[in-house]
Every structure is written in structure tokens, then in C-alpha cells.
Structure 1
Amino acid sequence: MSTETPLQLAIFDCDGTLVDSQHSIIKAMDLTCETYGLDKLTRDSIRRVVGLPLEIAMTNLFEGRTQPICNEMAECYRTHFRSMRLNDEVEEPLFPGTVEALNALEADGWLLGVATGKAMRGLIPTLETHNLEKRFVTLQTACRAMGKPHPEMVEKALDETGVNAQNAIVIGDTTYDIHMASNANVKSIGVAWGYHEPDELMDAGAVCVVHEYSELNQAIKKAMEN
């Protein structure tokens, strides 16, 4: 009988989990509202939809507008965000302890992946800014799979890496991440420094919520033992 340790995969959300992109997201949304002659949205309302596919986020934010208009506004947002990036105006700092947590997981033999509501053309520059692009063996984005909370991004990550669902875990800051994991029959851990509240993450089905990255490695070990 083989005693080889099975492959294990830790799938990270990006915005609100790896990087704090809220200020740039809010700025791009403010510019979108300005383009359409609308009042600015509240910061909390924008934070609530981070992680959803952009067209769905727009539908949630601008209730009563038709889907074609929301799709148009989503493209307007993308245009503003691309312009901000070209002008070096995008702020997406890593949360404290991110690199150390990734190092610890890799040292324990974990494969690393990302599942994000970003498009690939947005994710790659974010990772490159922090020299993380080679750390992740699978990158899943909403432009290549169904968006959260649909399980397709997790399922594709498992297929790409050959990891079984019981040997994977999702780490995220929103209920969309937690529901995505649950829908794929994968465990999840919430992080308290993102855009949804810890009690919401627990209610959604997270095994636990960590309050700083230094807690993550031990939390994952405990989660996988149960």
C-alpha cells in the first residue's frame, strides 16, 4: 500500500484576501457613477459586492436598471480601472503576512491557487506587482468560468492540479467564497480582514475565521484533520 502524501491545494481569493484593493475598486466605481451622472455609492455597498462577477455586482448595486445597461456600466468600470492601471493609480497592497503564509504552506507541500472575480487581465498585473505570479499553479477567473458562488472555478482548479476535493481548501473574505467552496464540496476558511463580517463567513459555512495570516497554517492543518 502506498503511503505517499496526497496532493493538497489551497485556493485563495484575491481582492480582500491576498490584496486590499478596495480603494481602487471604489475609485473606479465612483468614476463609473460620474460617467453616468449618478450619485456616488456608499463604500460599504461597494465592498459588499466585491468578488461577484462584475455584471452581477452592477445589477445588485443599481437595482431597477436593465441588464443591458448594467452590462454597459460594467464595461465602463473596466475601462476606468484599466486607465487607472496604465496611469499607475491602482493601489493593491498585500495584507500583512501574506507572503509568509504562502511560504509556510509551500514548505508543508501545499499547491497554491487563486479563484477570483477579477478577469485574467486584471489578476496577472496584481500578482506581478508583488512577484507572486509564479507562486500559484492554477489561476481561475470569472472570465474563464462561472463566477462565485458557482463552484466551477474550484472544480477547474481541482481538475488542473489533479487534487481531490477532500484534499483542497478555499481561503476567502466573502460569503461568495465560502458558498463557492461548499458548492464544490470543499472546506473553507474565512479571513477577518476583508469585506464581509466574520460571523457572516461562519454562518455561510466556513470551518473557522482567522484574524491574521500567522494563524492560517495552523487553522488549515486543524481543518483538514476533521
Structure 2
Amino acid sequence: MRNGIRHIVWDWNGTLLDDNHANLAAANHVCEMFGVPPMTLEDWRKIFRRPLVPFYEELLGRPLSDEEWQRLDAAYNSYYQRLLPSCRLADGAVDTLHQWRRAGGTQSLLSMAAHDHLVPVITEFGLVSHFTRVDGRQRTTDADSKAEHLAAHLDAQGIDPATVVLIGDIDDDAHAARMVGAKAVLVATGLMSRERLEATGHPVADSLTEAVQLVHG
């Protein structure tokens, strides 16, 4: 990465939080509801994408009505929340956050998880003090992408996107960074396979430590 990066926007699920098992279990709960065979984590990492509605329609093999989508979304989130207490921070997460601060950088957190669910979890893990701002999803957009949320997140802080790198675990993170004029580093420890991440053309790391090393570049 080029010099000039002063701010990291961290993704949460699959990046700072190791919650793959909870996401997979919630997805398989949905599959059971709709009579579809369960997936392995490898299966999920090969096919998961945004927007979510067409992804689930492909997974379930048919269109979803608005009512069915609402039921699916509620069931997934409810099942995930039951498993959330079993989730832990990703390896090296706390040390990585400390090191970036000691190096003089700033950092914030932006997630597509619901804001009202996100903030208590960040607080429980004792991470709030690391971030200049924490934003979860507070509205739904037709595009179902992080791009619009990232633009608002940076604008609220008065941060120049040219000084920002977004560290996340799916190709939508790369898309969001590109759309606002920021950089991206992707970690291959979350919900998308390394091959799919590499196809974005952005640097891919195998750990949070390596991701920040790529930022320092």
C-alpha cells in the first residue's frame, strides 16, 4: 500500500469478530426452514455475496416474497444472536488495534450489522475506546452495499477517503472502498474464499497482523 494512509475503517463480522460458525449455523437454520440441504463453511465461502435477497433466492432455488424474506431475515438474525455469546475476537485483534494507535493512526468501525445490536457487543468486548466512531446499519438501501454507509461514515468524521483503508472480509468491502475513493485490504479468514477476494484486485491477508503490515506497505 502507498504511504498516506492514516485511518483504518474496520469491518466487524468475519474481520475483527470470529463468528463464521454462528453465521453458518444461522444460514443452515434458514436452509432447514426452506427444505434445503445444509452447507459446509467451504460451501458458504464460495457462494456468499451481497445483495442478500438474490443470494438467498439462488441458495433456496426460488424467488422469495416480501413476507418470506422478512421471515427468513428474522429467523437468521434470531439464530445468530443465540450463538453470539460463543463468538470471540479474531486472533490478534486487540494487539492489532493497540499497535495501530501507537503508530499514530486513527481507526473506526463500520458494520452492516444492525446498529442497535452492534454497539452493545463492541462495548462488551471493551473496544469502544479504540474507535473514533462506531456505526452499524441504521437503514436499508436498495443496493444493499456498504458503499453508501461508508461514505456517510467518513463524512460524519470529516475524513478524506484518500487517507483511508477499509479492512474487511468480503468483496463488498472492496467495492465500498473503491466507490468512495479509499483503499481496501481483505482478510481471508471470514465469509469469502481467498480466491474470490483476490479476484477483486485488492491485497489479501491471512491475518489481521498481516493486513496492517500491508497498510504500512
Q: TM-score, normalised by structure 1?
A: 0.79
Pair 1:209-2:204 in alignment: yes
- Greater RCO, 1 or 2 (C-alpha within 8 Å, sep 6+): 2
Contact 2:44–2:191 (CA<8 Å) still a contact in 1? no
Pair 1:192-2:217 in alignment: no
Over 3 Å counting, the alpha-carbon distance change for 1:143 and 1:41 in structure 2 is farther
Contact 1:181–1:188 (CA<8 Å) still a contact in 2? yes
Q: Aligned partner of 2:79: which letter?
A: H
Identity %: 22
Q: Give me the whole-angstrom Cα distance separating, in 2, the residues matched to 1:34 and 1:218.
A: 41
More displaced 10-residue stretch of structure 1: 43-52 or 100-109: 43-52
Q: How many residues are aligned here?
A: 212
Q: Aligned partner of 2:189: which letter?
A: W
Contact 1:148–1:177 (CA<8 Å) still a contact in 2? no
Pair 1:72-2:71 in alignment: yes
- Give the CA deviation at 1:150: 4.6
Aligned twin of 1:167: 163
Contact 2:14–2:169 (CA<8 Å) still a contact in 1? yes
Aligned twin of 1:218: 213
Q: Determine which of 38, 60, 63 is the counterpart of 2:61.
A: 63
Q: CA RMSD in A?
A: 2.7
Aligned twin of 1:27: 25
- Give the CA deviation at 1:133: 2.7
More displaced 10-residue stretch of structure 1: 71-80 or 174-183: 71-80
Aligned twin of 1:156: 152
Deviation by residue 1:52-97 (Cα, 9 ceiling, x = unmatched): 4654553343231324122321122223334x16xxx632211111
Q: Aligned partner of 2:164: which letter?
A: A
- Give the CA deviation at 1:187: 0.6
Over 3 Å counting, the alpha-carbon distance change for 1:197 and 1:137 in structure 2 is same
More displaced 10-residue stretch of structure 1: 14-23 or 113-122: 113-122
Over 3 Å counting, the alpha-carbon distance change for 1:66 and 1:199 in structure 2 is closer
Contact 2:20–2:190 (CA<8 Å) still a contact in 1? no
Contact 2:146–2:173 (CA<8 Å) still a contact in 1? no
Over 3 Å counting, the alpha-carbon distance change for 1:44 and 1:214 in structure 2 is closer
Unaligned runs of 5+ in 1: 1-5
Deviation by residue 1:164-213 (Cα, 9 ceiling, x = unmatched): 0101110011111111111111111111222323343232131x222223
Over 3 Å counting, the alpha-carbon distance change for 1:50 and 1:98 in structure 2 is farther
- Give the CA deviation at 1:26: 2.0
Q: Determine which of 89, 92, 99 is the counterpart of 1:97.
A: 92
Q: TM-score, normalised by structure 2?
A: 0.82
